[in-house]
Amino acid sequence: MTGHLPAVLKALDSSRDAALKRLFEVLRIPSISTDPAYKQSCKAAAEWCVNTLREIGFDAGLRETAGHPMVVAHDGPRNIGRKPHVLLYGHYDVQPPDPLDLWVSPPFEPRLRVEPGNGEVVLARGAEDSKGQFSTFLEALRAWKQVVGELPIQITVLLEGEEECGSPSLPDFLTQYGKEISCDLALICDTVQWDKDTPGITLSMRGIVGAEVVLTGPNRDLHSGQYGGPALNPIHSLVHILSSLHDSEGRVTVPGFYDHISEPSSDRRQQLKALHFDSAAFLSDIGLSQSAGEKGYSALEQLWMRPTCEFNGITGGYQGVGSKTVIPSKASAKLTCRLVPGQDPDEIVASLERFIRSRAPRDCGVEFRVNQRHRAFAFDHNTPHVAAAAKALQEEWGRPAALMGAGGSVPIVASLNQKLGMNCLLVGFGLDDSRIHSPNEKYNLTSFYKGARSWARIIDQLARIM
């Protein structure tokens, strides 16, 4: 079966125009999972995925959840023991495109654009995260089916519709359908490569705790002249609490926050140095000149191996045009803590809530709402499937794959590993400058085409070793 690879790669090269057309089709669907106004658009994106997988030759359908549906597809009947069985995971939902006025073209009208240093890029919301990424899977599967008529390994596909809003339906879905999607290995394409010319394999990702804090002071907004002074101002209280969450060295001050986590080993620090990461260029690209955060750690150590507590939004009082002299009744902040292996999300939630409540004044009501909690993960790089992927990537890109960590979170990774006992292989083709979650999100056309070729090669290599 593996002798078919050259013909599969040739088929991918000859179908590039059709592949790009298919990508543009799904990018036009505004599948914004966090906004209920786009529920039907999310359903349309899920149905597009089902129809595409059926066209390729999969038995595909929707699995309804309390939120947006999951797409599940099988390559024929399950044949345990005949072939190795892998799960391909991606997500069809996207982030909101706001602020719209910063886009150079409408976010759901994809187009090609030439960028210095990158060449042609696909510009659209979801171009990289994650419609362009999971489309590299689908194009590789299409080429194998077209050339050979079957795949060299057994494959199940899972495309989620709520990754961008914390995967709230995932636990119940895994309880109900875990046996159906359980495989030998999960392949996940929702990460980045090292740079535009160097592939990467992600071996660790941080977990996450997401919360919102709402402080309530007086029972209504007050005139600041009539009440300013004696009346508690919840913005004052909120700012005081937030400022106390970090010390002067950038460390989080919540008791127990750093318990049970390990310092980077000397070997791992040497591996990071060997990557020659240019932190100055990394910061310069986003308009900054010096590293912030926890003192004593390099930028890569901060991104991949150290936990954080970040403020994602603050609201309180009048924010319209001009002035309105009020003492607001409420003030709120959205927080996310990125976690590393060893941290228990439930313990972090409890400690963070205690910390905040203990610092609120007596007359200040506190609401603490948790919207996300997922563990961090780390996988061993000394496994046959990592070696197989590294070989395939080097053959396609002409240079060794970087063994990477990631600062972000993909909730399903920890869930598949902890609930179903599945190992995961994370290979992505995005870039740090892909502007995911921001205006003008883009995906390098080279990454799209070579990503599909890479997955065709990885499937071939897995068939050899599994």
Angle between helices 16-27 and 39-56 (to 10 degrees): 160
Q: How confident is the model at residue 215 (pLDDT cuts 50, 70, 90)?
A: very high
Determine the pLDDT at residue 77.
72
Neighbours of 393 (CB within 10 A): 25
Q: Is 154 exposed, middle or buried (0-12, 13-18, 19+ CB in 10 A)?
A: buried
Alpha-carbon span 448 to 334, nearest angstrom: 34
Q: Which CATH number fits domain 207-261+307-373: 3.30.70.1140, 3.40.640.10, 3.30.70.360, 3.40.50.620?
A: 3.30.70.360
Side-chain-side CA neighbours of residue 154 (13 Å)? 16
Rounded average pLDDT over 203-207: 92
Domain 2-205+376-465 and domain 207-261+307-373, same fold? Reply is: no
| Fold annotation for 2-205+376-465 | Aminopeptidase (3.40.630)
Q: What are the boundaries of each domain within the chain?
A: 2-205+376-465, 207-261+307-373
Whole-angstrom Cα distance, residue 424 to residue 94? 22
Cα distances from 54 to residues 36, 47, 146, 219, in angstroms, run 28, 10, 13, 57
Summarize the confidence of residues 164-185 as an average pLDDT. 94
Rounded distance, CA 431 to CA 25, Å? 22
Residue 82 is predicted with a pLDDT of: 59
Rounded to two decimals, what is the model's pTM? 0.85
Give Cβ neighbours of residue 179 (< 8 Å, ≥ 6 apart). Answer: none
Average pLDDT of 94-112?
Answer: 97
pLDDT digits (tens, 9 = 90+) for 8-35: 999 999 999 999 999 999 999 999 999 9
Phi first, then psi, for residue 89 (nearest 5°) are -115, 140
pLDDT tens, 421-452?
Answer: 999 999 999 998 999 999 999 999 999 999 99
Whether residue 78 is predicted with pLDDT greater than 70 in this model: the reply is no
